[in-house]
């Protein structure tokens, strides 16, 4: 019987080991070349850090499918189910590059100053360069995927997933913007938005190795569903953490979502219970709010059951996601995918 | 013996006929759906007009390769060289969608107010929506190409061309920005920038039908070269027209490139001849410049041979491009591709 702390440490170690390999591969797949300023800006956020959760999901899924020892097989010459080899690291880099492109453009849209502890790309460089860096990463993600060396039929399916995933992320981001100007968003609508904006890239990460390695449709669909489930759970947990983690640990003001009247699963649920969400916190200024005000708001949200509702929903999605992994061979990498799912909602920040 | 006017009218009629079909297909491939505001913004510039030169090049190349009567064959069920059928209209829409995405993002970067006689997307909507509309068109271009129904091997090659083309457009745009802050750009460097920023999408338009229809490598490469040649000639002619066409016909102040110290093939050549380019026009304000000042500047540029140099270069590129069309069967569509090349440098605006 392992403690939760030991389980979390084991997951973090598994993520760390894959992150190191991913970090080593990024400069290989996205070298700084002419025009240097463009490629430096494109690499800036990728080099600034990040947990690499999506590439980790992708690599671990590949390991589970191939039924090989975790980290014991060269990702660059990875066995498929059809007897040939692919470069599964390229697929992992591709989804991380997509993630990075969306962050760069999102930061412009939200005019956020900081990301991963460093200035956002449009602050470190300028608006022009940031738009262009995002656009460059966008096509580079396709180029990098194209160099994974999969059979043409499987490659076409993989590129289809990549393209439709990008479209859905844009649709989700657009819905999110619409929600900010709208009252009466339901939990179902909120979860649909989160599915498109956040979860589809987890879904792509989980199903892409299955597609590239020649798994059957049932497996591809189950893994896509796993990604959608854990991706939504991840976002819900983010919303909970914004309220419950001390500001100094969070790296920004606790409760900033509430102050800025950002809709979350918690607030849309609370509003359905009759709570006046807009006036939960008096100020709209993150710098002016007090910890006591956030505590009061949190107590009100707890009283109408909205925190429990969000936690229950996240737990339900994680359990559903884990069940879908039954399509995979029973091995250590599958166990890691289960632990990753748990970690996404048990993590402290 | 036809007159230049009759030749131009014949080309414009051929472009017009294809444009109508392209315009009819755009709403089919890019319907307005939820989230409506996002898709309306994505369609805004496409619906505002445009000559559709790139789709016309693509469709005419397909007709020449298949050796069919111009406009006599259903683009949606178009014969390949391998006996199957593809939807070549999808490929044509795909390149136009890429073009539209780059214009939306370019207008943000340059903070241009107008495009095709209507407000730029970030002016009609807002910055957020314009970035997102461009990003949506980007992935939609891949989705639309993926639905052209080509064999997987050919499709992978086509998507590779699409992705590398987008990367080069970003690199070219980045070089263009760098040039604005740099002295001593050479004509060779300028032409390299134009190749990446503008000509590669013409090159993609010309070679994509060859790839999708199963033509051999020699044909694909020759058509790619044709596109690079006419695309560069197109941009050089644009630079000449900015100086020589009356403001009312141009739809903006004649000589605005000079006033804004934008580098063109004409100015980089003139500087190499020892002309002081920066002070050719005293003002930096497009609204303050007089026609007489532009005339004086033009006379100086003519005196050092820079206008002739640009015209000669454009003509040379067009002749080189036309020679490359020898790989195609001798038919009416190939003749149209020759006329299109001539049109690009003979057009009045």
CA distance B300 to chain A (A): 33
- Give the total residue count for chain B: 349
pLDDT value of residue A216 = 98
Weakest-pLDDT range from A28-37, A38-47, B252-261: B252-261
Q: Single out the residue of A88, A85, A86 nearest to residue A62, CA to CA.
A: A88
Interface touch B167/A139, C-beta < 8 Å: yes
Note the pLDDT tens digit of each residue in B96-131: 999 999 999 999 998 888 787 788 999 999 999 999
Does A285 reside within a domain?
A: no
Q: Given a cut of 90, is residue A309 above it in pLDDT?
A: yes
Are the beta carbons of A42 and A124 closer than 8 angstroms? Answer: no
Q: What is the extent of the structural domain holding B342?
A: 11-346
pLDDT value of residue B284 = 82
Average pLDDT over residues B29-57: 96
Reported confidence tier of residue B211, pLDDT bands at 50, 70, 90? very high
Are the beta carbons of B230 and B207 closer than 8 angstroms? Answer: no
* B142 inside 8 A of chain A by CB: yes
How far is C-alpha B37 from the geometric centre of its chain's CA atoms?
A: 27
Q: How far apart are CA A70 and CA A13, in angstroms?
A: 12
Are the beta carbons of B98 and B162 closer than 8 angstroms? Answer: yes
Nearest to B167 among A143, A177, A178 (CB): A143
Note the pLDDT tens digit of each residue in B248-274: 887 778 888 888 888 899 999 999 999
Does A282 reside within a domain?
A: no
Average pLDDT over residues A231-250: 91
Note the pLDDT tens digit of each residue in A183-202: 889 999 999 999 999 999 99
Residues of A whose CB is below 8 A from B156 = 146, 152, 155-156, 159
* B81 inside 8 A of chain A by CB: no
- What is the SS3 assignment for B225? helix
Q: How far apart are CA B293 and CA B277, in angstroms?
A: 13
Q: How far apart are CA B195 and CA B147, in angstroms?
A: 28
Reported confidence tier of residue B192, pLDDT bands at 50, 70, 90? very high
Four-CA torsion B340, B343, B345, B348, nearest 10 degrees: -150
Q: How far apart are CA B342 and CA B325, in angstroms?
A: 13
For chain B, what is the domain count? 1
Q: How far apart are CA A250 and CA A291, in angstroms?
A: 13
How far is C-alpha A116 from the geometric centre of its chain's CA atoms?
A: 14
Are the beta carbons of B112 and B120 closer than 8 angstroms? Answer: yes
Does A68 reside within a domain?
A: yes
Mean pLDDT for chain A?
94
Does B51 reside within a domain?
A: yes
Tell me how far CA of residue A304 lies from CA of A88, A112, A237, in angstroms: 47, 32, 18
Interface touch B105/A135, C-beta < 8 Å: yes
Q: Given a cut of 70, is residue B203 above it in pLDDT?
A: yes
Closest-CA residue of B relative to A196 is B35
What 8-state DSSP symbol labels residue B281?
S
- Give the total residue count for chain A: 349
User: Of all residues in chain A, what percent carry a pLDDT higher than 90?
Assistant: 79
pLDDT value of residue A246 = 87
* A216 inside 8 A of chain B by CB: no
- What is the SS3 assignment for B1? coil
Q: Given a cut of 70, is residue B1 above it in pLDDT?
A: no
Does B78 reside within a domain?
A: yes
Highest mean pLDDT among A220-224, A236-240, A286-290, B287-291 belongs to: A220-224
Q: How far apart are CA B92 and CA B103, in angstroms?
A: 17
How far is C-alpha A181 from the geometric centre of its chain's CA atoms?
A: 25
- What is the SS3 assignment for A145? helix
pLDDT value of residue A228 = 98
Q: Given a cut of 60, is residue B37 above it in pLDDT?
A: yes
Q: Is B332 exposed, middle or buried (0-12, 13-18, 19+ CB in 10 A)?
A: middle
Closest-CA residue of B relative to A39 is B171
The pair of three-digit structure tokens given for residue A185, joined into one six-digit string? 């968003």
* B153 inside 8 A of chain A by CB: yes
DSSP alpha helix (H) spans, chain B: 4-29, 36-47, 53-66, 88-110, 121-124, 127-146, 152-180, 187-194, 200-212, 217-244, 247-250, 256-259, 265-272, 291-303, 306-324, 332-346
The pair of three-digit structure tokens given for residue A325, joined into one six-digit string? 């992994």
CATH number (domain holding residue B59): 1.10.600.10
Residues of B whose CB is below 8 A from A90 = none
Q: How far apart are CA A336 and CA A61, in angstroms?
A: 9
Neighbours of A297 (CB within 10 A): 23
User: Of all residues in chain B, what percent carry a pLDDT higher than 90?
Assistant: 79
* B192 inside 8 A of chain A by CB: no
Nearest to B174 among A38, A138, A178 (CB): A38
The pair of three-digit structure tokens given for residue B263, joined into one six-digit string? 């580098």
Does B27 reside within a domain?
A: yes
- Decide the pairing of beta strands B78-79 and B85-86: antiparallel
Q: Is B333 exposed, middle or buried (0-12, 13-18, 19+ CB in 10 A)?
A: buried
Handedness of CA B119, B124, B127, B131 (dihedral sign): negative
Average pLDDT over residues B205-209: 98
Q: Which residue has the higher pLDDT, A165 or A260?
A: A165
pLDDT value of residue B85 = 98
Q: How far apart are CA B164 and CA B168, in angstroms?
A: 6
Q: What's the ipTM?
A: 0.95
Does B18 reside within a domain?
A: yes
- What is the SS3 assignment for A185? coil
Neighbours of A123 (CB within 10 A): 17
Q: Given a cut of 60, is residue A1 above it in pLDDT?
A: no
Does B3 reside within a domain?
A: no
């Amino acid at each position: 019987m392992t403690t939760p702390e030991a389980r979390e440490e084991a997951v973090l170690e598994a993520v760390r080991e894959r992150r190191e390999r991913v970090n080593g591969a990024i400069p290989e797949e996205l070298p700084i070349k002419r025009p240097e300023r463009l490629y430096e800006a494109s690499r800036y956020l990728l080099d600034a850090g990040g947990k690499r959760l999506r590439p980790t999901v992708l690599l671990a899924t590949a390991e589970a499918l191939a039924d090989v020892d975790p980290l014991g097989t060269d990702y660059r010459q990875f066995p498929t189910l059809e007897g040939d080899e692919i470069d599964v690291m390229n697929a992992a880099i591709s989804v991380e590059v997509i993630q990075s492109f969306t962050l760069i453009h999102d930061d412009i849209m939200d005019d956020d100053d900081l990301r991963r502890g460093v200035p956002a790309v449009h602050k470190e460089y300028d608006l022009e360069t940031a738009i262009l860096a995002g656009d460059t990463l966008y096509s580079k993600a396709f180029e990098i995927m194209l160099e994974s060396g999969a059979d043409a039929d499987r490659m076409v399916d993989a590129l289809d997933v990549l393209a439709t995933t990008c479209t859905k992320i844009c649709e989700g981001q657009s819905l999110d913007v619409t929600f900010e100007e709208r009252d009466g968003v339901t939990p179902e609508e909120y979860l649909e938005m989160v599915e498109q904006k956040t979860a589809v890239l987890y879904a792509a990460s989980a199903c892409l190795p299955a597609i590239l390695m020649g798994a059957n449709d049932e497996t591809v669909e189950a893994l896509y569903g796993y990604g959608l489930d854990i991706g939504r759970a991840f976002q819900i947990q983010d919303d909970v953490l914004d309220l419950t983690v001390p500001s100094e640990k969070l790296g920004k003001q606790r409760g900033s979502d509430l102050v800025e009247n950002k809709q979350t699963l918690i607030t849309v649920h609370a509003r359905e219970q009759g709570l006046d969400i807009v006036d939960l916190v008096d100020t709209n200024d993150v710098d002016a709010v007090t910890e006591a005000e956030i505590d009061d708001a949190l107590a009100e949200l707890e009283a109408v059951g909205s925190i429990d509702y969000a936690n229950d929903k996240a737990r339900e999605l994680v359990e559903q996601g884990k069940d879908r992994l039954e399509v995979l061979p029973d091995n250590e990498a599958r166990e890691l995918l289960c632990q990753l799912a748990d970690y996404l909602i048990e993590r402290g920040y």
